[in-house]
Structure formats: structure tokens, C-alpha cells
Structure 1
Amino acid sequence: MNSDWPYHLRQHRGTLLAFLGFVVMFAIYAANHSAGLSANVATTAANKGTLLAILAMAQTLVVLTSGIDLSVGMVMVLANCLASTIVVGTPLETALGVLGVLAAGAACGAVNGLIVVVGRLQPIVATIATGSVYYGIALALRRVPGGDVNASLADLATGQLPGGVPASLVLLFGLVLLVWMPLRRSALGRALYAVGSSEPAAYMSGVPIQRAKLLAYTMSGLLAAVAGLFLTFITYSGEASAANGSTYTLYSIAAVVLGGVSLFGGVGSAVGAIFGALMFRTIGDLLFVFNLEPLWQPLFQGVVLAAAVCLGSARLLRVKNRLDVYG
């Protein structure tokens, strides 16, 4: 039994490092915040972190297949604009609106998957194109910022539970339990890793490559819609912002890298990406707490991201056999 520990440590090294990095950074942030670690401070940080963490989960599913989804931010924006239009009214109307938003996100992801799988286009090219389409639809839905959302549901999702626990963290934990854990243990979930590790070998082994990829993109769109829905709960409005879509797409890639997920595919987990997202958000909060000039903040975040990418790729330079990466 003890002989399995080195393997498990190697397998989850990225997740553990992301967790430790987040804990250290958040402890520094809380210790230097003027209000300390109050319930309101924790809730605000949790809401911002959860938004990026959900999007990082979406990105992870595609990256595990050795692809990349550059449309996740635009799907989030589309879901935000749609939610600000239909997630209103009576409890029944609100529930139907939520289902409509989630269905729209899943449909966007499925379109991405079909283009990649059936059309055989490179993921980066396909998702850039579809992202532009999704942004156009969002702009048609919400030409100017505005709209509304069911206030009770928004307050429930972004507020505090008894004891001061941020509700957003419970939502994030629920997504891990209901989406990631069952997927990770399923045959198609294991197929995602197999495809990312070596698609030719997976094909020769009878792995359902096309179904695995289609699932990855569809679930990515669904989770991006969840992020857009949560953004609507935070802002109580919708906005077709290309800047937000592009920024969050890049941030989701940063979170994936910081969370130990290999951009070459086949290595990492959504849990690691979540801690990577929380860590990346905490970096921004630390810059605010220490009063770093706003103009320098993007530069500092870019340096951190570049360093993370270099560290994540460094061991590939020492690999003689690509299979060693997944051992």
C-alpha cells in the first residue's frame, strides 16, 4: 500500500502545489487586509474566485484532450446576456430560465465539439470562430448593459450561509461533486485522459475518441454557461462585453496552468484548476492590498503566468519518451 504513495504524489503534484500556493497567498492577503478576514471580505473574494474557478473547470475538460477552448469567455458573456433576459419572474419562470441558459451553453459547446470532431478543424481555430459568433448573439440580445435577474436566487447564490460561509463556495463544491467526480470516474472521463495522452494509442485501444471529445466540449459549454449565470447573480445585469469575454478566456488558461494541468493534455484535474483559479484571483487581491500601481498589475500577473507556463513545461525538456510524462 505504501508503495503507491510516490505514484499518487506525482499524479496530484500540480493540485497539491496549487492548493498550497493558494493557502499561502490568501493567508498573506487576509493578514494585510484592513478589515482582516471578515465574513464580508471572505464572501467577496469567494465570489470572484468562484466565477473564474467555474470557467477554469470548463477549460480543463478541453485541455485534457490536448485541445483548447478560446470561446469559453464568449459563451459566458452570451449566458450572462441571456440570463439577464429570461431568469426573472415567478419561481417557475426563473427555473425555466436557468434551464434555458444551461441548455444554450451546452448547445454552444456541442457546436464546438462537432466542428472539431466532424469538421476536423484545429480547436484553436474552431473556437476563435465560434466565439465571435457567440459574442454576436450576445450583442443582439443585449445591445446596451442592463436587464434583471431574480433577486432572491441571486442573493442566495452570492450571499452567506449560516455561520458566515460563502454560498458560492458551496456551489463550487457542489459542481465538483455532481459534475467533475462522476465524470472523472466514468469510462468517458478516463477516455479524456487517454485521448490527451496519445490519441493514436487511444484509437488503437478502442477508446471512443469522438464521443470523449464531444463530451468535453459540450460540458465545457455547460460550465461556461454556469459561470455566465453566476456573473449575472453578481452584477444583477447583463453586458455583451468583448473585453470581459477575452479576459476571462485568458484567465481560465492561466488558472489551468497554475493548477498543474498540462497544456499538452492527459495530465491534471479540474480540482487543481480550481485552486489555480483561486490562486490567480488572490494574486490580484494581493496587488490591491499592497497598493501596487494599477498600470503595473497586468505586467505582474503576466510575469507570474509566464513563469508558471515555463515551470509546467520544464520537465518536458528532460523527457526522452513522451509516455514518461504520463507515468
Structure 2
Amino acid sequence: MRRALLANKAFAGAVLMFAVLFLVYQSMHPRGFSSAVFVQNANETVAIAFVAMAQTLPVLMGGLDLSVGAVMTLANCIASEMVNGTPLEILLGCVVTLLAGTLFGLMNGLVVVLGRIQPIIATLATGAIAIGLALTIRPSPGGEVDGDLNWALTNTVFDLAETYGLAEDGNAAWLAPFADIPVPLILLLGIGLAVWLPIKRTVTGRTIYAIGSAEGAAFMSGLPIARAKIAAFTMAGFFAACGGLYLAIQTSSGNADVTQAGAYTLNSIAAVVLGGTSLMGGIGGVVGSMIGAGILRVFSFYFRILSIDPLLQPLIEGIVLLAAVSLGAIKTLRVKNTLELFR
């Protein structure tokens, strides 16, 4: 255990920070540790967590994806148009939404690999395309998402079961152990871990880490560099689409908001760093980014419960984020050999 903690100090620190901040917040809240508060917190965290997971894949390779917020916005607008009607139409709308984001991520990967363009430049351009498409689909905020789906996926497991007739008179015995668990949390962990963990153990997953550590060495070792880059950006598009789909379900609408897209992109980078993933690449993972997203959201929870002046919130958030991220640079002060900075 000690060896594992030493090898993952940044991730362990992120978990500890989140645990302390969240427990203190719940203790201060008048209805802290209640199912209603947990559901509210989970709903506010899911979208940014998915976008942070999307950002993690390019960052692990030493790059940045500036299109994740735009792809999320595009998916949000598509979902607001298609996720309604009969159950089959709803399912089709969800599939089309996720497929659109995945294909956009694939396009990013192909542009980076075949065009040999730096990811930050390529995704800046493709992000503008995504926003343009979103504005075409949804020139003004609006749309509609199935009401039952909205209620079932933004509340507890009990509400989900009751909505779709899985609970007998509301007293099904199988529901008792986890009836109060927020469905958004299950969706986040289920989708994130189901997609990431199997891929992480494959050659493609290991190559993503190898590219971030030393792309030249990875190439000389015969690893599939091009395939790994395309796969990473494709998964990033999928996770961003998951965030957009959930945001549409949560709000029952779509909005091609350029400011919102930019804010999600910047916050995703902050969440990735807070979760222990190095911007230099090769270190970190999706689970850490979930924790980082949680830390970001807990900050906003404190603003609300402490009634902080909205004009001061960006200043305080920026100072806290800068302090938290700077902790990761402390080790450079102890470096005696400058070459160690590049290892």
C-alpha cells in the first residue's frame, strides 16, 4: 500500500483533497449527507467530469484537446432535437448523439495523425467547426428531451425503478440496499470505467502512456503510435458526447453557447491537473480526472453555501486552483540535476 501511494502521490493527494472538502461541505450544509443533496451534487458534477475524462486522453499523450467543450455543446444540441418520442426513437437519438461525438473525435485523430498538425492547433480549428454545427442545429436555446428519461436519470435508483415500473408498489426488496444512490453517479462511474479500464490494459492503452513519456522511444520500440493517437482522440470525442447528452437530459434542452463551451474546455484542463495527470504526459488517468472534476465542483458548492459575492467567486476560484496546481511543481525545487526535470 505504501509503495502504491508513493507511486501515485498526485492521485492520492487529489482523493484526500476531495474527501476533506466534500465532508466539510456536507457538515456545513443544513441538509448535509442527505440523498437530496447527494443527487444535486452528482447532477452538477457529471457533465464536467465527462469532459475532464475526454481531456485526459490527449493530455496523457502530452497534448491538449481544445474541442472537447465544443463537441460536448454539439452533442447537447443534437440530443435536444432527437432524444424524445417513442422508446425506440429515444434510443436512436442517444446513439446518434454519442456517434456524432465519437466521429468528431475520430476526425480530430485523423487530422492530427495524417495532417501531422499539433493537437492544440488542430482541435482549435475543429472546435470552431463543432460550434458552427451546433449553432446550425440550435440557433437559439430550446428543444425537448423525454420527461421520464429526465426524471429517471437525474434522481435516485428508486426514482429510476419507479419511473419504469421496476418497483412493485414502491417497495421492491431488491431496491432497499441502494435505493438512495444517485443515478448520475452510477452513469459516470459505469461508463467511464467500462470504457477506460479495458482499453488501458491493451497495447493501444499502454502506447498512449508511452507516447506521453517518450514518443521517440515508443516509435523505436515498434508501438502503434498512429493507432493509439486516433483511438485516444476518438475516445475523447465519445466522453465529450456523453457529457453533452447528459447535459441535455438534465436540462431538457440544448444551447449552442460559445462561452459555455470555452468554460467547459478550460475547466476540463484544470480538472485533469487537479486529478493528478501531468500536462507533460505519461502520468495519470481517467479516474483521477473524475476526482479533479469533483474538486472543481465542490468549490462552487462552497460559494453557494457561504453566500460568496458572485463578483468575487472567479477570483477566489482562480487563487485556490493556482495554489492546488502549484503543489505539483514543488518537487522541481528539490531537483539538483536539471536533466531530472525531463524524466
Is the TM-score greater than 0.5? yes
Within the candidate set 141, 144, 161, 1:145 is matched to 141
Tell me the amino acid that sits aligned with residue 156 of structure 1: A
- The answer for the alignment partner of 1:133 in structure 2 is 129
Residues 82 and 93, structure 2, Cα contact 8 Å, conserved in 1? yes
In 2: Cα distance, 1:19 partner to 1:229 partner: 27
Residues 277 and 285, structure 2, Cα contact 8 Å, conserved in 1? yes
Deviation at 1:324, TM superposition (A): 7.7
Q: Deviations over 1:188-218 (max 9, x none)?
A: 1111100000000100111111111111101
Secondary structure of the residue aligned to 1:294 is coil
Tell me the amino acid that sits aligned with residue 19 of structure 1: V
Length-normalised TM-score, structure 2:
0.90
- The answer for the alignment partner of 1:234 in structure 2 is 250
Secondary structure of the residue aligned to 1:262 is coil
In 2: Cα distance, 1:125 partner to 1:316 partner: 29
Tell me the amino acid that sits aligned with residue 9 of structure 2: R
- The answer for the alignment partner of 2:181 in structure 1 is 165
Secondary structure of the residue aligned to 2:140 is coil
1:59 aligns with 2:55: yes
- The answer for the alignment partner of 2:169 in structure 1 is none
Tell me the amino acid that sits aligned with residue 8 of structure 1: A
Deviation at 1:309, TM superposition (A): 2.9
Within the candidate set 280, 283, 286, 1:267 is matched to 283
Structure 1: 5+ residue stretches without partners:
none
1:35 aligns with 2:31: yes
- The answer for the alignment partner of 1:198 in structure 2 is 214
1:120 aligns with 2:136: no
In 2: Cα distance, 1:88 partner to 1:72 partner: 25
Within the candidate set 76, 87, 104, 1:80 is matched to 76
Decide whether aligned partners of structure 1 residues 155 and 317 sit closer, same or farther in structure 2, where only a CA change above 3 A counts: same
Residues 332 and 341, structure 2, Cα contact 8 Å, conserved in 1? no
Tell me the amino acid that sits aligned with residue 313 of structure 1: A
Tell me the amino acid that sits aligned with residue 75 of structure 1: V
Deviation at 1:32, TM superposition (A): 1.2
1:175 aligns with 2:191: yes
- The answer for the alignment partner of 2:325 in structure 1 is 309
Residues 15 and 269, structure 1, Cα contact 8 Å, conserved in 2? no
In 1: Cα distance, 2:340 partner to 2:197 partner: 25
In 2: Cα distance, 1:43 partner to 1:175 partner: 18
Deviation at 1:322, TM superposition (A): 6.2
Decide whether aligned partners of structure 1 residues 322 and 116 sit closer, same or farther in structure 2, where only a CA change above 3 A counts: farther
Secondary structure of the residue aligned to 1:9 is helix
Structure 2: 5+ residue stretches without partners:
159-178
- The answer for the alignment partner of 1:287 in structure 2 is 303
Within the candidate set 99, 123, 128, 1:103 is matched to 99
Aligned length, in residue pairs: 322
In 1: Cα distance, 2:244 partner to 2:192 partner: 17
Aligned-residue CA RMSD in angstroms?
Answer: 1.6
In 1: Cα distance, 2:143 partner to 2:95 partner: 18
Deviation at 1:305, TM superposition (A): 2.0
In 1: Cα distance, 2:283 partner to 2:270 partner: 16
Within the candidate set 259, 266, 270, 1:243 is matched to 259
Secondary structure of the residue aligned to 2:312 is helix
Deviation at 1:304, TM superposition (A): 1.9
Decide whether aligned partners of structure 1 residues 151 and 265 sit closer, same or farther in structure 2, where only a CA change above 3 A counts: same
In 2: Cα distance, 1:137 partner to 1:61 partner: 24
1:224 aligns with 2:240: yes
Residues 316 and 325, structure 1, Cα contact 8 Å, conserved in 2? no
Tell me the amino acid that sits aligned with residue 250 of structure 2: I
- The answer for the alignment partner of 1:16 in structure 2 is 12
Q: Considering only CA atoms, is the larger Rg found in Structure 1 or Structure 2?
A: 2
In 2: Cα distance, 1:307 partner to 1:170 partner: 31
In 2: Cα distance, 1:79 partner to 1:248 partner: 14
Tell me the amino acid that sits aligned with residue 166 of structure 1: P
Residues 257 and 308, structure 1, Cα contact 8 Å, conserved in 2? no
Q: Deviations over 1:229-264 (max 9, x none)?
A: 000011000000011100011111110010010000
Residues 80 and 238, structure 1, Cα contact 8 Å, conserved in 2? yes
Decide whether aligned partners of structure 1 residues 222 and 323 sit closer, same or farther in structure 2, where only a CA change above 3 A counts: farther
Within the candidate set 215, 218, 228, 2:231 is matched to 215
Decide whether aligned partners of structure 1 residues 265 and 169 sit closer, same or farther in structure 2, where only a CA change above 3 A counts: same
Residues 55 and 236, structure 2, Cα contact 8 Å, conserved in 1? yes
- The answer for the alignment partner of 2:166 in structure 1 is none
Decide whether aligned partners of structure 1 residues 85 and 274 sit closer, same or farther in structure 2, where only a CA change above 3 A counts: same
In 2: Cα distance, 1:44 partner to 1:11 partner: 34
In 1: Cα distance, 2:56 partner to 2:91 partner: 28
